[in-house]
Amino acid sequence: MKGKIAVFLLFFMNVYGKTFSQTNSIQFSIIPTFGAATLHLSDSAFYANDTTHLQLTAVKCYISNIQFLKNGKLVLEEKNSYHLVDASEINSLKISINNQQNISFDQLKFNLGIDSATNVAGAMGGNLDPTKGMYWAWQSGYINFKLEGTSALCKTRNNEFQFHLGGYQQPNDCLQTLCFPINNSSKINLRLDVQQILQQIDLTKTNHIMSPSAEAVLVSKIVANAFTIYKN
């Protein structure tokens, strides 16, 4: 009898335990796209099918301070919430948020970038490690969003464009806070449309932003608006 009970418990934990763990976490996925096409920088650089010979070689950003609200009130937040999202690293596009108490919510809130308190604390480890290529050692600050590539529109060396957006001091604070109404769900898909970003930038005039500036703040707002909740 004890043997049968043990087998039953193992079966229960294997089948129902998985379901329990899934319902007690929120699977937060970021889906980089270029219009309707999904970006696949992990295999090779992404080429857009247009007349500008656009090629994307890097799409990275920090997502931090992930929170969930109910009727405008904070009900759940991730501790030590710093995630480096890299379109070339598929594992970085999925974030699991612990929700052991199955707290219900109707709004998602997070920062695009790194807050000033973390910036002034200096270089850190984990996703915030300077070796990740998202830290300006020369001015002790994190890059919130990085977009690199080439286009025939750019009259630069090798037709390159580089947007490294960051800065935590006024008036050039590039941090963006995003909020989305969402259904109470264990799965959230967030879309980042890079085409929408580039359509609002004249690459013939603006193709290099490499330090905090008013221009960096403006483009940071464009990037924030390129995020949307994605429904399959």
CA–CA gap between residue 114 and residue 134 (Å, rounded):
11
Task: Classify residue 142 by burial, with Cβ atoms within 10 Å: 0-12, 13-18, 19+.
Answer: buried
| pTM confidence score | 0.87
Query: What are 57-80's pLDDT values in tens digits?
Result: 999 999 999 999 999 999 999 999
Say if strands 25-34 and 37-38 run parallel, antiparallel, or are unpaired.
Answer: antiparallel
Mean pLDDT for all residues in the chain? 89
Average pLDDT over residues 148-157: 96
**pLDDT value at 39 more than 70:** yes
- Delimit the domains of the chain by residue range: 2-229
CA–CA gap between residue 11 and residue 4 (Å, rounded):
11
CA–CA gap between residue 14 and residue 8 (Å, rounded):
10
Query: What are 196-226's pLDDT values in tens digits?
Result: 999 999 999 999 999 999 999 999 999 999 9
Would you place residue 123 in the very low, low, confident or very high pLDDT band (cuts 50, 70, 90)? confident
Q: Residue 65 in 3-state DSSP?
A: strand
Q: Residue 6 in 3-state DSSP?
A: helix
Q: Residues 6 or more apart from 10 whose CB is under 8 A from it? A: none
CB 25 within 8 A of CB 185: no
Q: How far apart are the first and last CA of the chain?
A: 47
Residue 21 pLDDT: 39
Q: Residues 6 or more apart from 51 whose CB is under 8 A from it? A: 152
